[in-house]
Structure 1
Amino acid sequence: MRITGGQLKGRMIKCPDGIIRPAMDKMRESFFAILGELGGKAFLDLFSGSGIIALEASSRGAERIVLCEKDKIKIDTLLKNVSLSEKELKKKIECRFMPVELFIKRSKDSFDIIFCDPPFPYKFHVQLIQSIADKSATNDGLLKDGGTVLIHRPAEVDMPDTVGCLTKTDKRVYGRSIIDFYKKMF
C-alpha cells in the first residue's frame, strides 16, 4: 500500500498479517480531497488495521493523530508503519490497542475528524455512530462542533440520515464500499 498525498506521498507501508481490507488508494484520495485542509486538526482513526488512514492524515497536515486497533496480530506492523510518520514528519501518532467501543466510552479527548473503518462483517455500524454521537453531545465531547465522522461500510448496510447530534451530509460510493459523512451540527 502507498500513501496517496501530502508530505509522505508515494511512500509504501506494510500490510499486517490477519484479516485486513485496506481502504483503496482512489477511495482515500477522494475522501481526503473532500475533507480538505487538515492543518492543525485532530484526527481519530478507529479500526486502524495497517494505520494507512492515520498516516495519510499525518502526511496531509493533521496535527494530533490517534489510532485505535484491537487486533494483537497487527500491532508490530502497525507500530513499524507509524514510525514512518514519526521519523520523517517528526509527528507522533498516538496508538491505542483496545476495542474501539471501549476507547469511545473512555475517551476524554475531542477530535475534528473521526474515521471509522470496521471490518465488513461488523454488525454494529449504527450503534457505533450512536456511541460517537452520545459522546459528542457536549461542547467538549468526542467530536468537536462542526466536526466530521466518516464511516466506511458495505453497500448492504443501511445508515440513518440523523443519529443524535450527527447529520449525514454526504455519501460516496466506491464499488461495494460506501463512505457516509456525518457532521456534528451545533
Structure 2
Amino acid sequence: MRIIAGTARSLPLKTVEGLDTRPTTDRIKETLFNIIQDEIPGCYFLDLFAGSGQMGLEAVSRGAQYAVFVENNKKAAACVEDNIRFTKFTKETKLYNSDVLSALRAMEGKYRFDIIFMDPPYKQEFEYDVLSYLKDSSLLKENGIIIVEASLDTAFDYLPDMGFTLKRLKTYKTNEHAFIIKNQ
C-alpha cells in the first residue's frame, strides 16, 4: 500500500497486521480519487474508521488543506500516527483515537468538512449510525459530500428519510462507494 499521487507520491504506508482492518486496494483508491479529484485541493477531509490512515493521507498528498482521522483500535491508531510522521504531514493532520460518534461530538464547532469518508466494518450498520448523527450536525459543509465504502449488499434506502440523497453509487467487484449529499 502506498500514496498514489501528489507530494508524497510512492511513499509506502504501514498497515495493521491481522484481520481487524480491511485496507482499500490501490486500484479502488485511485478510482475514488479520480472521481473526487476536483474536490480535493484546499479541502478539509475527515477519514472515519481510518485503519492505516491511507485515505486521508492520500487526500493531503493531493492538496487537501487538512485531514482528521478517527480510529478506535489502538494498534490501528498507532499505525495512523506512524504513517502521519513518515509522510511528514504532522501539521496538516489530527488523529482522534476514540469511537467515531464520540469523536464527531468532540469535533462539533471545531471543524467543517468538505469530504467525509468512512469505511466502517461491513454489515454492522455503523454507516447508518454515523449518517444519523451527521443529519443534524454542522460538521459537513453546505456543498460537502459523504463517501461510504460498503459491502455490495449494503442498502441506503433510508437516506431520503434522513435528508440525504444518494448522488452516485460506484460498484467494484467486492464493494462499493456511495456518494451522499445533504439535501439543502
TM over 0.5: yes
Which residue matches 1:20?
A: 21
Which residue matches 2:178?
A: 180
Query: TM-score scaled to structure 1, two decimals?
Result: 0.89
Aligned residues: 179
Which residue matches 1:60?
A: 62
CA contact (8 A) 1:134 1:164 kept: no
Query: TM-score scaled to structure 2, two decimals?
Result: 0.90
Report deviation, 1:185: 3.3
CA contact (8 A) 1:120 1:154 kept: yes
Report deviation, 1:163: 5.0
Report deviation, 1:96: 0.5
Which residue matches 2:143?
A: 146
Structure 2: segments with no counterpart, 5+ residues? none
Report deviation, 1:115: 0.1
Which residue matches 2:30?
A: 29
Name the Cα RMSD after superposition.
1.7
| Counterpart residue type for residue 156 of structure 1 | D
Residues 127 and 77 of structure 1: CA distance in aligned 2, closer, same or farther (over 3 Å): closer
Query: For the residues of structure 2 that align with 1:90 and 1:78, how far apart are their CA atoms?
Result: 11
Which residue matches 2:122?
A: 120
Query: For the residues of structure 1 that align with 2:42 and 2:72, how far apart are their CA atoms?
Result: 27
Report deviation, 1:2: 1.0
Which residue matches 2:132?
A: 130
CA contact (8 A) 2:123 2:154 kept: no
Report deviation, 1:105: 2.7
CA contact (8 A) 2:53 2:69 kept: yes
CA contact (8 A) 2:4 2:30 kept: yes
Query: For the residues of structure 1 that align with 2:64 and 2:79, how far apart are their CA atoms?
Result: 22
CA contact (8 A) 2:51 2:80 kept: yes
Is the partner of 2:63 in helix, strand or coil? coil
